Chain A
């Protein structure tokens, strides 16, 4: 393609991305939907701004998925990965197995297809879309939740299982195949192939461990940032090429390399260097997915496609939901997990190519499946929003009636709501002084974790009055609200004030705004969670700048004193934004003046009363100088 063509296409893609994503974000829909929508509009079936070479662009853009996996690997040290082995093998393995079998069974019985074709379809549809799911979850900040981690585990397993799936495709051949089209694309997973795969995996680990660091060392010494970035790109591209050569998933190889490099000192440099490329390529990938939706086919057989789409979603949701339940995922997390993974994915496109080449499926079936899969990908961000905003609030009420732990702590003076990092410190201090605390926590993983350290936290939703009663709120003296969520904190404060007026409420607030709100709701004591540590760090910074420790300590204390005082004074005008900002700025200025004055007072040589003859001499001098003025 000549220069102008490339530039023109880049222009179209970028313009579509900028407009699409901005609009989608405005509507609170997330970037993935924006890209997909933009793709549909510029695609060959709508405006036709990009032609039929979209699939070429798509292959190129798939490299974004590879990069994403590499970056995810960088965040996962081997230790963390090892911890995920149960969800990866158990949850992931069962999901692929059960979904494949169920879809195969439906295809055989309902659609009356040959079992070999059905199995191929089952395998294609069992896999979800790594790109869409991870991008959407990370944008929503859900990747670190239980649901997010489990989703990731399942997707990782799918990345692995796609290799044997490709390998068995030739065995499922039912149609007559022209020998020239079936080519030797897919080799049997013979002994030699196995060695090659193992060898390259081992190679990645060894090279990553022992060779990459020295190379980056050498490159970094040139001090040229773009060369460092070029080297990073080169690394990922090399892995991709090697993996393709031996027939492994490049995404998997890149992920592996990422994990190996997670402990390297260049980890953050790599992250920063590659992140922009990854995001743009992923965006491009989503656009091409949108652009490749065959709208003509959709219009021709709309009922068939919609029917299949609904069937696909129902089957996947059912399998995922039941499995998550078996793996003891709390219902609210389960919802996110289930709806996130309910789509077909980009692997379906890959598998369909092999299926076509090996004469497993005919072109018409493949076209219809491709549309169904693409539509399901398009629906994913909407499904997650649906789960988050509609189903979760609806089911919350039911959940409260679910069996929470029986609380058998007897009478304890203190209830600690939320046993994360914050609650732990509070509770341990109290226990060290001999006060018994009843601990309530909503995250099952956290409860399991602290159990290993011999601490018993009870599973329960603290916004439920019955749970609070069971925890002894009627007899306890203190309620310590250490939960992260400010909504919950506010709710618990109100509940306590309403139902247990004798209970003193000590609460953790995120910032000023939250502190005001929680205080207003009736909390007896509110602390801003980061204020103390920030001041301590500031104090250390002053020491590092040459202050004596005592002086640094005084400055921090003075700051805290006035900041608290001002917060109290400002609480009356909270809500009147204009007035608040005005007065807050005034107070901040006042505080700085006070701090400076305190500092200057300490720098002046102190006039002490016991200095000889101080009163007579200096006093006289001062009054004299006054007169002179």
Chain B
């Protein structure tokens, strides 16, 4: 049995993003992967909560794929968290329906890896900046998986991009096929 993977993709300017296009086309048609394009589905930020919760329930591995905006996600993904991870669904009485599932961020970053260090001008490593996501996952009883990060998104050559996209697809495949991540019992 395979895990089902849900890629929740948030990019307000997808048409201009070379890196994300390469990554998306590498994983979009993978077996067992569902691609959920938030800015395409909810241009007016009016999120269909029922529909999103249904998707979450049907999948085991949840990926937030997004560019790194102000050390976090684009705003629609934040709105998504605010309304979808609701009381009595993600937590609270009758909640915790996500417990046992896995969450991972897949981020594309314009800056270099070295800029995200204690000596770089971004001061903090990406893992640490993503702590709010990690804590959200933990709060909901989910397992947080170390993020996939693509640095220098604007400067990579075509072949380097292809390599990164391939690495991303490989990661998703291995998550999909990893029996140890399988939900035990579940709801």
Q: In the complex, what distance in Å separates the CA atom of A615 from the CA atom of B138?
A: 13
A557 partner residues in chain B, CB cutoff 8 A: 44, 46
Contacts of A615 in B (CB 8 A): 91
Cβ contacts under 8 Å, B87 to chain A? 607
- Residue of chain A at shortest CB distance from B132: A610
Q: Write the B13-40 contact mask toward A (1 if CB under 8 angstroms, else 0).
A: 0000000000000000000000000000
Residues of A within 8 A of B46 (CB): 554, 557-558, 561
Q: Is A53 an interface residue (CB 8 A)?
A: no
Give CA–CA (A561, B41) in the complex, Å.
13
B71 an interface residue at 8 Å Cβ cutoff? no
Q: A260 CA to B124 CA in the complex, in Å?
A: 76
| B contact residues around A609 at 8 Å (CB) | 91, 139
Q: Residue A622 at the B interface, CB < 8 A? A: yes
Hey, what's the 0/1 contact readout for B127-139 against A, CB within 8 Å counting as 1?
0000000000001
Which of A585-629 touch B at CB < 8 Å?
A: 607, 609, 615, 619, 622
What chain B residues lie within 8 Å of A622 (beta carbons)?
Answer: 93
CB <8 Å contact, B93 and A619? yes
Give complex CA distance A461, B92 in Å.
62
CB-contacts of A521-560 with B (<8 A): 554, 557-558
Cα A622 to Cα B95 in complex, Å, equals 14
Q: Which residues of B contact A561 (CB under 8 A)?
A: 46, 48
Count of B interface residues, CB-CB < 8 Å: 8
- Nearest CB to that of B87 among chain A residues? A607
Please give the distance in Å from A555's CB to the nearest CB on chain B: 11
In the complex, how many angstroms separate the beta carbon of B187 from the nearest chain A beta carbon?
A: 18
Would you give the 0/1 interface string for A408-436, flagging 1 where the beta carbon is closer than 8 Å to chain B?
A: 00000000000000000000000000000
How far is it, in angstroms, between the C-alpha of A519 and the C-alpha of B27 when the chains are bound?
A: 34
| Chain B contacts with A in 34-77, Cβ cutoff 8 A | 44, 46, 48
Q: State A561–B48 Cα separation when bound (angstroms).
A: 9
How many angstroms from the CA of A561 to the CA of B45 in the assembled complex?
A: 13
What string of 1s and 0s marks CB contacts (under 8 Å) between B82-112 and chain A? 0000010001110000000000000000000
| CA distance in complex: A607, B139 (Å) | 14
Shortest distance from the beta carbon of B184 to any chain A beta carbon, whole Å: 22
Residue of A558, A561, A607 with highest tally of chain B CB at under 10 A: A607
Chain A residues whose C-beta falls within 8 Å of the C-beta of B92 in the assembled complex: 607, 619
Rounded to whole Å, the gap between the CB of A603 and the closest CB of chain B is 14
- Chain A minimum-CB-distance residue to B136: A609
Q: Chain A contacts of B48 at CB under 8 A?
A: 561
CA A1 – CA B74 in complex, angstroms?
87
Residues from chain A with a CB closer than 8 A to the CB of B44 are 557
Closest A residue to B135 using CB positions: A610
Docked pose: A607 CA to B90 CA in angstroms: 12
Query: Roughly how many angstroms separate A427 CA and B46 CA in the complex, as a whole number?
Result: 26
Sample (14) of A-B pairs whose CB atoms are under 8 Å apart: A554-B46, A557-B44, A557-B46, A558-B46, A561-B46, A561-B48, A607-B87, A607-B92, A609-B91, A609-B139, A615-B91, A619-B92, A619-B93, A622-B93
Q: Given A557-B44, A607-B87, A619-B93, 11 other A-B contacts at CB below 8 A?
A: A554-B46, A557-B46, A558-B46, A561-B46, A561-B48, A607-B92, A609-B91, A609-B139, A615-B91, A619-B92, A622-B93
Name the 8 nearest CB pairs between A and B, nearest first: A557-B46, A609-B139, A609-B91, A607-B87, A622-B93, A607-B92, A557-B44, A561-B46
